[in-house]
Structure 1
């Protein structure tokens, strides 16, 4: 679901009047205005499902005016202005222009968009939803005159024409079609996850050409977890330890609406997804997404036996005085939130025992969140009272490696130790420019 971005608090700007030629009589005018306004409002909801604000609104910037930096394997790009400003935004786009950019990655002037824009997912959005989105961006968003910034990618890698061949190889055109034998909820969930939600953009591994290894459940790698921009986006299949295998339908729905449940809490880019997108989903759509995700068979993981909680060895190592370096750091900095038993105080404070992010083979997310903390979850306008603080200025690389190795071994988690060199590498890449 997203490029790895910092949490944003941008609000959607909705409900500006639709501008059209005046109908012949007042009754028709009223009916037409109401219908158009309904379309704009529906488009606003769809823009939330697509989490458009997260990428197209820079911190402290105006909604959808672009400018947000985004790291790619080739260099940094800057997200574009998609307000209806005629000079610097998309005010000159027809609906056909808008649809082509959204679903094929080609701008009005013919240049190809970088696939950091998740148009391979948006290709599945149907015509009715494209129409509503166009109505919202043209008539429900305030125009902002803000010029787009050129990328930092150096020549010749900044040339766009090779992307035509990338599209020929990896872009699957055509809106989502309901799968025979699946019910309405499953198909709606599949449409949202694969299309507007573009969950695979973060949670599906990438190939050598930075293409998603699978675009739907027919590919074995689909939503099996992926490393992107210093975070490991979690496995969303039914895998028991690192995926959603132990999550009930209620657990998943709670996470999508609040960003936390008894298993884990959102961090990194997922904070932005919760803040700007999934918490705004209707109960029906949340249920549909959960139905689809919970249907996915287990893929990936570490191959370890199914996790079972065992606190005894960890309790012994935490007995005062703590008897190893990681336990000492945990006792001083972590235990008051996450507990001696590793259960934390879910959902307010995340558990560490059996947490899918702790059980993942790749420790990048744990290192990143320990170094840098995470942005506030803001649910119904209320920030979370206990965001994870960053410890980059407090703990050195070896201390962070020690405490994370302790956590990954503790409470029967049984995952590999973390090295100081891994911490140093992520410290350098994530702290640059701060």
Structure 2
């Protein structure tokens, strides 16, 4: 799952390229005739669990034909065509070549994929699921002839051969193995979160080599929240304030299926995850993911005392907004949706009091969503009636800093203030090219 209370964000859950070239082995790619439709349908479901469409389908583009730009620390890359077109897609891939690209990050011609493709997570996908995914992409996706675009990464950073050493250091080969002492639901949830869901790609901090700091619950940094492409992907551990510690199992299942609950609403890249992936999950798989995530111990918190709601000081400020710059902006632009009490009108309009995204130490997601708004959550084909609008053209950097500082202090949230320089930096990086 990607990119979550972004939330999260976000973010971003990126899947990079399979570049089709002439077959390098003697095996034959999938025939274009009749396929096992049960296997194809299962592969379609698994592709939704992996949220493949979110990265491999550009806005207004054809499904899985690539072209979506992705920002990385090294420069911009463009997601590739993974339709079964023989010239520009993956139509020439055998199942073995497909599996190697998916789980080891090595294309059919032998070149290494950038680790923006979450193959360290997909390494855990079992053989049966790889077979079903291959059947879907070869027989359930329409071929599209669309050439892939070269990345904007400059030499020498665009060289691929050093990635062999990256893989030696950070890629853990071998599928997911059930943990002894854990029940079927927990292990299924762990398999989905760590594997196809690749939640750690967005929600786990990365090291200096852009590697995830942990790939499963054995590492304390796993799913503890991370900054990625202008969003802070939320903490998914049991941390009380910024994580899922105050969420019930029902809260989490509701969020995965609808993108909103009494605590928070999805925004940023997580909107795409809800729209394209988690809402399609079976009830059994949603329950398994919730079981696993709710088992994770607290990690990555701010060290603040456990959050308790207190509206009094904030109400006084809102009663006298002339005395508080942030209160003035809140009263004019925010209060009609998020309320005097900060509770909003959940789940349709997000609460701000006690919202994990508001309490997070890193305010990037709040700045980003205030500047740029968020896309529509589309549940069962119906768009959300109240998406968050962007205020980049309405409020200046200082006004946004003031109102976010007010919100982060309000209702006993107790989070650090936001500076105008932080807003200016994100405004520049997110508004470029718009």
TM range (shorter): over 0.9
Mapped contact 1:326–1:405 kept (Cα < 8 A): yes
Mapped contact 2:224–2:234 kept (Cα < 8 A): yes
1:91-148 residue CA offsets vs partner (Å, 9 max, x unmatched): 0000000000000001111111001000000000000000000000000000000000
Q: Which whole-Å CA distance do the structure 2 matches of 1:234 and 1:9 have between them?
A: 7
Task: Go from structure 1 to structure 2 and tell me whether the alpha carbon gap of 1:14 and 1:41 turns closer, same or farther (over 3 Å shift).
Answer: farther
Task: Go from structure 1 to structure 2 and tell me whether the alpha carbon gap of 1:39 and 1:23 turns closer, same or farther (over 3 Å shift).
Answer: farther
Task: Go from structure 1 to structure 2 and tell me whether the alpha carbon gap of 1:431 and 1:290 turns closer, same or farther (over 3 Å shift).
Answer: same
Task: Go from structure 1 to structure 2 and tell me whether the alpha carbon gap of 1:15 and 1:371 turns closer, same or farther (over 3 Å shift).
Answer: closer
**Any idea what SS the aligned residue of 2:430 has?**
helix
Task: Go from structure 1 to structure 2 and tell me whether the alpha carbon gap of 1:315 and 1:403 turns closer, same or farther (over 3 Å shift).
Answer: same
Mapped contact 2:237–2:298 kept (Cα < 8 A): yes
Task: Go from structure 1 to structure 2 and tell me whether the alpha carbon gap of 1:278 and 1:229 turns closer, same or farther (over 3 Å shift).
Answer: same
Give the match for residue 268 of structure 1. Answer: 268
- Report how far residue 26 of structure 1 moved: 31
Give the match for residue 58 of structure 2. Answer: 58
TM-score of the aligned structures, taking structure 2 as reference length: 0.93
- Report how far residue 18 of structure 1 moved: 22
> Where in structure 2 are there 5+ consecutive unaligned residues?
none
Mapped contact 2:2–2:12 kept (Cα < 8 A): no
- Report how far residue 217 of structure 1 moved: 0.1
Q: Which whole-Å CA distance do the structure 1 matches of 2:2 and 2:24 have between them?
A: 46
**Any idea what SS the aligned residue of 1:26 has?**
coil
| Correspondence 1:154 to 2:159 | no
- Report how far residue 301 of structure 1 moved: 1.0
Q: Which whole-Å CA distance do the structure 2 matches of 1:6 and 1:407 have between them?
A: 17
Mapped contact 2:2–2:10 kept (Cα < 8 A): no
Mapped contact 1:68–1:79 kept (Cα < 8 A): yes
- Report how far residue 240 of structure 1 moved: 0.1
Q: How many residues align?
A: 434
1:198-253 residue CA offsets vs partner (Å, 9 max, x unmatched): 00000000000000000000001000000000000000000000000000000000
Task: Go from structure 1 to structure 2 and tell me whether the alpha carbon gap of 1:36 and 1:336 turns closer, same or farther (over 3 Å shift).
Answer: same
Q: Which whole-Å CA distance do the structure 1 matches of 2:297 and 2:269 have between them?
A: 25
> Where in structure 1 are there 5+ consecutive unaligned residues?
none
Mapped contact 1:123–1:172 kept (Cα < 8 A): yes
Mapped contact 1:3–1:269 kept (Cα < 8 A): yes
Mapped contact 1:18–1:37 kept (Cα < 8 A): no
Task: Go from structure 1 to structure 2 and tell me whether the alpha carbon gap of 1:234 and 1:10 turns closer, same or farther (over 3 Å shift).
Answer: closer
Task: Go from structure 1 to structure 2 and tell me whether the alpha carbon gap of 1:35 and 1:26 turns closer, same or farther (over 3 Å shift).
Answer: farther
- Report how far residue 323 of structure 1 moved: 2.2
Q: Which whole-Å CA distance do the structure 1 matches of 2:424 and 2:370 have between them?
A: 12
- Report how far residue 180 of structure 1 moved: 0.3
Task: Go from structure 1 to structure 2 and tell me whether the alpha carbon gap of 1:146 and 1:15 turns closer, same or farther (over 3 Å shift).
Answer: closer
**Any idea what SS the aligned residue of 1:411 has?**
helix
